[in-house]
Amino acid sequence: MKNLKNIFFSLLVLMSTTMMAQQTPAGKQKGSILITGATAHLGNGQTIENSAIGFDNGKLTYVGTLAQADRNSFSRVIDASGKHVYPGFIAGNTTLGLVEVDAIRATDDDAEIGGIIPHVRSLIAYNAESKVVESMRPNGVLMAQITPQGGRISGTSSVVQFDAWNWEDAAVKADDGIHMNWPNSFTRGRWWLGEDPRLVPSKNYSEQVEEVVSFIREARAYLKGSQSPRNLPYEAVKGLFDGTQRLYVHVNGEKEIVDAVNFTKENGIQKLVIIGGDEAHKVADLLANNNVSVMISRPHRLPNKEDDNVKHPFNLAKLLMDKGVVVGIEMNGRMNRQESRNLPFFAGSFAAYGIGKEDAVKMISGNAAKILGIDDIAGTLEKGKDATLFISEGDALDMRTNIVSHAFIQGREVSLETHQTKLWKRYSQKFGDK
């Protein structure tokens, strides 16, 4: 009887694990594929009507008009007449795969203890079988930057794709950059202690900035010296000085952004990306002249300051693009993992407030790839790049028409079935019977 109970318990655990796991990743692409007749949105601001998109062995081999394509050279043809083809959308600055259920501490791995911990790598904590990650694909979100949080220097992010057995398979670009939370020059008083709750200049701002400056200077000295005894935090920032990594500075205020730009220039840091950048439009010329990109926050929010235009979060993309700044979208905020599936609709909101529709597509494809340093293999539909793309029945930036029929990651056709789609089918049948 005891053995029977043990067997039953083991089967129950196995069944629950299977139900919780993501679908088995797709096998390697077998045979060449040609998508015909669709409007192709290339991710660089251009479109091709009545297009043909061909790929083999996971790489794009033809991008052009259907009239010039050789159908006979492809083993499978997908008729997408009247539909749209897009490069896979890329979510920036998200904790996808690092937390599954917020209320269950054992599934929460988005932050480590410590103030300056650049050697903490988010990639090794990434859960490729996350059910939340799985739910991105039906909206065309096929890649993301997985980012640690907390502290002054949070750690190192990585770029992953959403069809993998484990984090090693998922990695598109491992350790793409270091994330720093820049100090705030203003602070609010703690009203519960009787302090003035209004914004006042922070007395600790200079001291907090000096803490970061000292660390970077010490790291540079360490890397030029004998590197003994070994110091992992110093070693982790080596890529900032040789250009192999980016410094992602999470900052919103005008003064703080200027200080961050000057800080990188003075310390030999080659590549800077601003995350958030709520007041970046005030110093857009400085950013453009120094090739500093900005990943702006989601538009569906209130302004950070009480006297800002209530539409400012929606207008920010246009204000920066008009000055020549490369702009993407970052996903930090409440429910950032679940909200990441709405990435294309956030881009659509920016399109409704001044930027062109194809510029909005660029924000989450070509621009995102450029900002993350993967534009040589992803982000646009160009011959030689990874065949990471999807077919939508309509405009992918509109939640009413973004109905994805096919999705491919590095040439592999991936499942679009998720926990949410199963529930939708189940309850649509229930109400459809009445």
Give me Rg for the CA atoms of the chain. Answer: 23
Cβ proximity of 378 and 88 under 8 Å: yes
Q: CATH topology for 93-378?
A: TIM Barrel (3.20.20)
pTM for the whole thing? 0.91
pLDDT the model gives residue 146:
97
Share of the chain above pLDDT 90, in %: 78
Six-digit token string for 273: 């990306």
Long-range contacts of 211-216 (CB under 8 A, 24+ apart): 211/116, 211/152, 212/116, 212/152, 212/153, 212/180, 212/182, 212/183, 212/263, 213/263, 213/267, 215/116, 215/153, 216/240, 216/263, 216/267, 216/269
| pLDDT-flagged residues of the chain (< 50) | 9-20
Domain residue ranges of the chain, discontinuous segments joined by +: 93-378
pLDDT the model gives residue 191:
78
pLDDT the model gives residue 213:
96
Between the two ends of the chain, the Cα-to-Cα distance in Å is: 47
Six-digit token string for 105: 């501490």
Cβ-count burial of 136 within 10 angstroms (0-12 exposed, 13-18 middle, 19+ buried)?
Answer: buried
Closest CA to 158 of 130, 186, 177, 180: 177
Cβ proximity of 47 and 56 under 8 Å: no
Whole-angstrom Cα distance, residue 217 to residue 213? 6
- DSSP calls for 210-236: HHHHHHHHHHHHHHHTT--S--HHHHH
Whole-angstrom Cα distance, residue 184 to residue 42? 39
Closest CA to 33 of 378, 404, 387: 387
